[in-house]
Structure 1
Amino acid sequence: MAETPGKQLHLTAFMRPVSLHTGAWRYPGSYPDANFSLKHLKSFIQKLEAAKFDAFFMADHLAVLNMPVEALKRSHTVTSFEPFTLLSALSQVTERIGLAATASTTYDEPYHIARRFASLDHLSDGRAAWNIVTTGNPESAKNFGRDEHMDHSDRYKRAREFYDVVTGLWDSFADDAFVRDVESGTFVEPEKIHTLNHVGDELKVKGPLNIARPVQGWPVIVQAGQSEPGRQLAAETAEVVFCSPRDLPAAKALYDDIKGRAKAAGRNPDHINILPAALFIIGDTVEEAQQKRLKLDSLVHYDSAISSLSIALGTDASGFDPDKPLPKDLPETNASKTSREGTIKLGEKEDLTVRQLASRLGGQGGLAFLGPPDKIADELEVWLREGGADGFTVTFPYLPQGLDDVVERLVPELQRRGLFRKDYEGTTLREHLGLPRPENRFFTKTT
């Protein structure tokens, strides 16, 4: 599915944690406290907005990562802000950049999610986005009154119904329901309020939502699953897909699959932006960028690395022989299927030992672009033109320098080539992403 020549890239910044690389906080010149410092995060988002990024994207965890304490003590992701609290604060020091937060359909309720995102959308004048996740970390269950994590297929079944309920709640009020007529004393017109009265297999929600319809109609919907049910959920609901293909052929296959499913579901495939996550390390030469990565990877302790491998596999890898390949008889687990299968395939493809595979994941495995700005721009253009991506979710190797390198060196090169905007053309995140404002399903707009 090749793309048109005049198309531009979309860029979002993955900012929770501020770097996915577990050695980032130790890199020379980095801010070790960046993940939990409002001062630093305010600086980062303002730099990203000045560079005209589409959105500032926060992942989230509902439990401390399930790793041994010897590994946990080396992790810079132990603490971080709750996404809604932070993004609400950052909405007041920015004007245009989108604000995307992760919220779980497994361990929250639709009314909570609908209300929080509607509030964020109003606070930001239309810049909110909801990243739908079913939660992959089994430890989360124990923080929400459960002994075991909900089965993978059941989590996605609940997520699909959850989406319908949340979007239905956002449509509780017609856009013109609040007349606020001082003379007549009418604040809201009752006939423009819809009570959802949803009763489904998983959820029961009366409604209506107790907040006006969001500025964008609905906040932008982001989805991050790559499993079979994840792809189908993305095709039916997502407007942005956060994914992690390892190379261009895999990305093109994923791109065609999700957009093909969307078309089959009666959606416009152009209304789904697929933005693979990628690490960007910029140097004057490829060799310099590679040396930066080697330095960065050298800061990852083996205790942390083997725990990252355990999380990816969903099973304790600490007892595996570090100098042999992964065992063939890995037990089945209820962890993320995409992460597990991708890790196994990486080990097989590159014939990696457990130690080598752990070190790769303990830093940041997956897609990476390394080199001078012009070389990276060449590569990004190929991905865009050949239908591998509509843009990228940028992950930074370390902060602040890794972020500064992207916004000060790579973005100007992309702008020079006409591959990225020089200014925002709209004010809402939907406008940045070229997405329509959804019609209210319960009220026909009158002129």
Structure 2
Amino acid sequence: MSKKKIVLSCLFQANGYHKGAWRMPQAQAGADTDIDYYIRTAKRLEEGLFDLFFIADTPATRTEFLDIWTKSPIYQNGLEPITALTAIATHTKHIGLGGTMSTSFFEPFNIARQFAALDHISKGRAAWNVVTSANDYAARNFGLDRLPPHAERYDKAAECVDVVKSYWDTWEDDAFVFDKENAIQFDPTKFHPVDHQGKFFKVFGGLNVARSPQGHPVVIQAGASDAGKDLAARTAEIVFGTGSGMDAAKKFYDDLKGRMSRFGRSSDQLKILSGFDAVIGDTQKDAEDKYHYMQSLVPIELSVMYLCMDLEAKLLDLPLDEPVPLDRIPSSSNHHTVYFNQISSLIQEGKTLREIATTYRRGNRVMRGTAKQVADFMEQWVEAGCGDGFMLPMSDYPGNLDDYVDKVIPILQERGSYKTEYSGATLRENLGLDRPANRYAAG
């Protein structure tokens, strides 16, 4: 019996996702806006047969506490995802190209058009990460004082996805015939305008580009709330999983896949990728030494600021070596539910502010070990039904990426848990996802 093949995606951030990575000697200054750096990284991932190169994004930059945020440049500087992925598409052949675009601040037509264009340019490798945005910096860039309530954002996201998919079905697959002799470029009967009158969007029109190679670019989603899971069960094809332990991850996996039948979907049409962060060394001690060195590059006030952001609370005034008072936990989250719950649990355990700040990593399981130990864990996780693969926020470049490609992946391939070549031409084919039929042609 063949083993389930592990799906791998890289969560890209120039220099790496560890808060101290940009200060390491090998880190390239200016990598955030160097497209050649992005391309080199994507090509290296392709050598490792990664399924997806993914750029997370927020349409904003922080505008306060800059004396602290300067110590960790994530989301303060970087290329707009669709622009960057389009450039990468012309230098790669197989790897999927995913980017974030917010349903709270971008119109469905623009989302549909840009991702359809990327799908054409990449010959079928585009993926849209559906987010509602989770910070008020973004809200203020678009004329609001703060984000709308969580439930309202998810209602708008659900409607937005429906409208985007309608645009992607504007043209049937064989609508463009290019009949020169009879002066017929397209068959007018195979054009279907979008006529939508909803709570958040009122549109009448169509997409001015032929149906793309995948029919619909792959849809990614990351919600962990009930509203987020329902949206994912109805619309998503890749979901970023949650749960730092196996029991919690399996519960999330079973819950989300179990919801899909309510929307007439098969559970094999969704891949859940768990966040996983590993520092890899030749020995256990080597891995621990690497990790502690990177940790030494992170000022403590920066780590506390990340807690403030994800807990949506003020903590900078508290003593570092005492437990965080329970009354600092807000009654609910309006931003990232999973991160909010993670920090709340650590506070309720009675840990000090320093302990929480220095160990907290956003929703990801952190491991330090050898390549074999990492491969063992990844196999066990997938075989136990905790996920279909992993979203890897590489801690640093090129070191962490090279460790995966040169050390971990060969072990998984030898065991039959990871592919030895790409199986298809499109991202859908490589993930085993069906190509959606055009709703009008199918009828």
TM-score normalised over the length of structure 1: 0.95
AA of the residue aligned to 1:347: I
C-alpha separation between the residues in 2 aligned to 1:249 and 1:292?
Answer: 29
> Which residue in the other structure is 2:217 paired with?
219
AA of the residue aligned to 2:115: F
Secondary structure at the aligned position of 2:334 is classed as: coil
C-alpha separation between the residues in 2 aligned to 1:150 and 1:138?
Answer: 9
- How far 1:18 moved relative to its partner? 5.0
C-alpha separation between the residues in 1 aligned to 2:182 and 2:25?
Answer: 65
What is the CA deviation profile of residues 244-289 of structure 1, one whole-angstrom value per residue up to 9, with x for unaligned ones? 3211111100000000011232210011100011112111112211
> Which residue in the other structure is 1:69 paired with?
66
**Identity over the aligned pairs, expressed in percent?**
39
1:395 to 369, 393, 396: 393
Question: Aligned runs of 1:280-295 on 2, under 5 Å?
Answer: 280-295=278-293
> Which residue in the other structure is 2:39 paired with?
42
Secondary structure at the aligned position of 2:220 is classed as: strand
Secondary structure at the aligned position of 1:378 is classed as: helix
Q: Does 1:31 align with 2:28?
A: yes
What is the CA deviation profile of residues 316-356 of structure 1, one whole-angstrom value per residue up to 9, with x for unaligned ones? 2212232222221133453222211111113334x321122
> Which residue in the other structure is 1:340 paired with?
340
Question: Aligned runs of 1:253-402 on 2, under 5 Å?
Answer: 253-329=251-327, 330-332=329-331, 334-349=334-349, 351-361=350-360, 366-402=364-400
Secondary structure at the aligned position of 1:12 is classed as: strand
- How far 1:443 moved relative to its partner? 1.7
Q: Is this contact kept in 2: 1:172–1:195, CA < 8 A?
A: yes
- How far 1:303 moved relative to its partner? 2.4
> Which residue in the other structure is 2:112 paired with?
114
Secondary structure at the aligned position of 2:417 is classed as: coil
AA of the residue aligned to 1:152: H
C-alpha separation between the residues in 2 aligned to 1:249 and 1:310?
Answer: 27
C-alpha separation between the residues in 2 aligned to 1:297 and 1:142?
Answer: 33
> Which residue in the other structure is 1:423 paired with?
421
Question: Aligned runs of 1:51-200 on 2, under 5 Å?
Answer: 51-65=48-62, 68-77=65-74, 78-200=76-198
Q: Is this contact kept in 2: 1:54–1:432, CA < 8 A?
A: yes
AA of the residue aligned to 1:280: A
Taking a change above 3 Å as real, the CA distance of residues 158 and 18 of structure 1, as seen in their structure-2 partners, is: farther
- How far 1:411 moved relative to its partner? 0.9
C-alpha separation between the residues in 2 aligned to 1:41 and 1:394?
Answer: 16
- How far 1:126 moved relative to its partner? 0.1
Q: Is this contact kept in 1: 2:371–2:403, CA < 8 A?
A: no
Q: Is this contact kept in 1: 2:326–2:347, CA < 8 A?
A: no
Taking a change above 3 Å as real, the CA distance of residues 287 and 66 of structure 1, as seen in their structure-2 partners, is: farther
TM-score normalised over the length of structure 2: 0.96
Q: Is this contact kept in 2: 1:26–1:32, CA < 8 A?
A: no
Q: Is this contact kept in 2: 1:70–1:303, CA < 8 A?
A: no
AA of the residue aligned to 2:353: V
Q: Is this contact kept in 2: 1:260–1:269, CA < 8 A?
A: yes
Q: Is this contact kept in 2: 1:279–1:396, CA < 8 A?
A: yes
- How far 1:207 moved relative to its partner? 2.0
C-alpha separation between the residues in 1 aligned to 2:237 and 2:174?
Answer: 25
Structure 1 regions of 5+ residues with no counterpart?
none
Q: Is this contact kept in 2: 1:21–1:364, CA < 8 A?
A: no
Secondary structure at the aligned position of 1:424 is classed as: coil
Aligned length: 440
125-134 or 399-408: which moved more?
399-408
Q: Does 1:9 align with 2:40?
A: no
What is the CA deviation profile of residues 368-414 of structure 1, one whole-angstrom value per residue up to 9, with x for unaligned ones? 23211111111111111110010001111111111111111111111
C-alpha separation between the residues in 1 aligned to 2:338 and 2:219?
Answer: 20
Secondary structure at the aligned position of 2:92 is classed as: coil
C-alpha separation between the residues in 2 aligned to 1:83 and 1:61?
Answer: 10
C-alpha separation between the residues in 2 aligned to 1:117 and 1:62?
Answer: 17
- How far 1:17 moved relative to its partner? 5.0
Structure 2 regions of 5+ residues with no counterpart?
none
- How far 1:39 moved relative to its partner? 2.1
C-alpha separation between the residues in 2 aligned to 1:18 and 1:225?
Answer: 26
What is the CA deviation profile of residues 284-312 of structure 1, one whole-angstrom value per residue up to 9, with x for unaligned ones? 11221111111111111122111101111
- How far 1:33 moved relative to its partner? 3.0
Taking a change above 3 Å as real, the CA distance of residues 348 and 287 of structure 1, as seen in their structure-2 partners, is: farther
C-alpha separation between the residues in 1 aligned to 2:44 and 2:382?
Answer: 24
AA of the residue aligned to 1:357: I
Q: Is this contact kept in 1: 2:108–2:164, CA < 8 A?
A: yes
C-alpha separation between the residues in 1 aligned to 2:22 and 2:78?
Answer: 14
What is the CA deviation profile of residues 119-167 of structure 1, one whole-angstrom value per residue up to 9, with x for unaligned ones? 0000000000001000001111110011221110000000011111000
What is the CA deviation profile of residues 19-77 of structure 1, one whole-angstrom value per residue up to 9, with x for unaligned ones? 22111111232224333222221111101001110010110011113651121111222
AA of the residue aligned to 2:255: D
Give the RMSD, CA atoms, in angstroms: 1.6
